[in-house]
């Protein structure tokens, strides 16, 4: 699939949330959405990134913005991660990586010489009409939430 570009309509998402209920991205029309894809719940980089979004969540709310995190973890792992770090936003379980593929973030990665498929840490800012306003590819965790906040403000 071709990579998504700013200005395109964001692909629809219907996935299990940390609550166990099915979440539909379309339900957030009328608000800005920060959709951040992360590789694995409860790992150092993903925890830091999620906690930065948590710590800035009031600022995002003031900017009419909803934060949504997505990883391939099952909903039960997302729920545990959310509770452990008191994350005030929904986490989605993309176990079959359908959303990651639709957003072009399911990529071949390499660690210690081994190749495998996984999430390339990427954040999408979606405007109230459902259009991709900004893409942050290959995210560096430190200070990322503030960069994203600047894009929605």
> Tens-of-pLDDT digits for all 153 residues of the chain?
557 899 999 999 999 999 999 999 999 999 999 999 999 998 888 989 999 999 999 999 999 999 999 999 999 999 999 999 999 999 999 999 999 999 999 988 888 888 988 899 999 999 999 999 999 998 898 898 999 999 987
CA distance 65 to 57: 9
Q: What per-residue confidence (pLDDT) applies to 111?
A: 80
Q: pTM value?
A: 0.94
Please state the domain extents for the chain. Answer: 30-152
List, in order, residues 6 or more apart from 26 with CB less than 8 Å away: 12, 130
Long-range Cβ contacts of 98-103 (<8 Å, 24+ apart): 98/15, 99/11, 99/13, 99/15, 99/37, 99/70, 100/37, 100/70, 100/72, 101/1, 102/1, 102/11, 102/13, 103/4, 103/11, 103/35, 103/37
| Residues recognised as catalytic | 46
pLDDT of residue 42: 87
pLDDT at position 2, please? 57
The CATH classification number of 30-152 equals 3.40.30.10
């Amino acid at each position: 699939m071709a990579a998504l570009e700013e200005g395109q309509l964001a692909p629809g998402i219907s996935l299990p949330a940390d609550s166990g209920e099915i979440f539909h991205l379309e339900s957030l029309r009328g608000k800005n959405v920060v959709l951040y894809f992360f590789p694995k719940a409860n790992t150092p980089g993903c925890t830091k990134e999620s906690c930065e979004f948590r710590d800035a969540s009031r600022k995002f709310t003031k900017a009419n913005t909803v934060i949504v995190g997505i990883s391939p973890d099952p909903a039960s792992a997302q729920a545990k991660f959310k509770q452990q770090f008191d994350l005030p936003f929904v986490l989605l379980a993309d176990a079959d990586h359908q959303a990651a593929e639709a957003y072009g973030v399911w990529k071949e990665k390499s660690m210690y010489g081994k190749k495998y498929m996984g999430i390339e840490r990427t954040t999408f800012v979606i405007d109230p009409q459902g259009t991709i306003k900004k893409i942050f590819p290959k995210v560096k965790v430190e200070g990322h939430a503030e960069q994203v906040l600047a894009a929605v403000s």
